[in-house]
Amino acid sequence: MAATENIGAEAQAPQELQGARPMRGGRDSRDRRGPRGPRRGGPRDDRARSEFAQKMIGIRRVARVMAGGRRFNFSAALVLGDKKGRVGVGVGKAADTQLAIEKATRAAKRAMVSIKLTKSRSIPHNVDAKYCASVVEIRPSPGRGLVAGSSVRTVLELAGVSDVTAKLLSRSKNPINNARAAIAALKSVEMK
């Protein structure tokens, strides 16, 4: 008789679990795992955030012709900056877009330049530069905000520059060369 009483006690669920309905797969609703096991990597908020902001200025599929046909790769160009006076432009190529972006990020960090800004986060004087066929001129304009177009605007935003007017003086539409011309112009800023 004692054995049958013991079996009945085990078959009964604990009081705290009686109200909970099991999830699909026979798991308890308070169990944090999905039907296929625990989560990998943990919550995304715990990952270390980079000190740099990045913005893509171009991503292309490029091909090279081989004996068996065409081989496709991806070329990614991006601007990286901390919005406090440091900015860089990088280009990366790989068979996968994510790898190309990682390579471009590393290249932008290597090519990063520091800019001396005024107290109003502007530049002290007019600067201009030429890179390949791209020619850009950047002028301080107090109270107007950031007036620029193309990838020059992206470079200036991520560098933390405000109250300037930028003008592309060439007919070049190449965003990478325009961004590099803007970097070259910002490099020539001298604090007096």
Cβ–Cβ under 8 Å, residues 77 and 176: yes
Measuring CA to CA, which residue among 69, 72, 67 is closest to residue 100?
A: 72
Whichever domain contains 87, its CATH number is: 3.30.160.20
Q: Is the dihedral of CA 133, 154, 52, 86 positive or negative?
A: positive
Q: Is residue 23 in some structural domain?
A: no
Together in a domain, 119 and 180: yes
Together in a domain, 130 and 175: yes
Distance CA 88, CA 83 (A): 11
Together in a domain, 80 and 125: no
Q: Is residue 192 in some structural domain?
A: no
**Mean of pLDDT values over 59-82:** 95
Together in a domain, 94 and 123: no
* 173 has pLDDT over 70: yes
Measuring CA to CA, which residue among 129, 169, 132, 166 is closest to residue 151?
A: 166
pLDDT of residue 46: 45
Together in a domain, 99 and 140: no
Return the higher-pLDDT residue of 28 and 167: 167
Q: Is residue 158 in some structural domain?
A: yes
Q: Which domain holds residue 61?
A: 53-113
Together in a domain, 171 and 122: yes
pLDDT digits (tens, 9 = 90+) for 90-146: 999 999 999 999 999 999 999 999 998 999 999 999 999 999 999 999 999 999 999
Domain boundary among 113, 138, 159: 113
Tokens of 28: 């308890």
* 63 has pLDDT over 70: yes
In eight-state DSSP terms, residue 161 is -
Together in a domain, 124 and 105: no
Q: pLDDT confidence of 13, banded at 50, 70, 90?
A: low
pLDDT of residue 41: 58
What are the angstrom distances between the C-alpha of 161 and each of 21, 22, 46, 74, 88? 57, 56, 31, 31, 14
pLDDT digits (tens, 9 = 90+) for 26-55: 555 555 556 666 666 555 554 557 789 999
Number of domains in the chain: 2
What are the angstrom distances between the C-alpha of 52 and each of 76, 98, 155, 186, 188? 17, 18, 13, 18, 22
Together in a domain, 123 and 183: yes
Together in a domain, 106 and 119: no
Together in a domain, 123 and 153: yes
Distance CA 159, CA 117 (A): 10
Domain boundary among 97, 113, 129: 113
Q: Is residue 147 in some structural domain?
A: yes
Together in a domain, 167 and 104: no
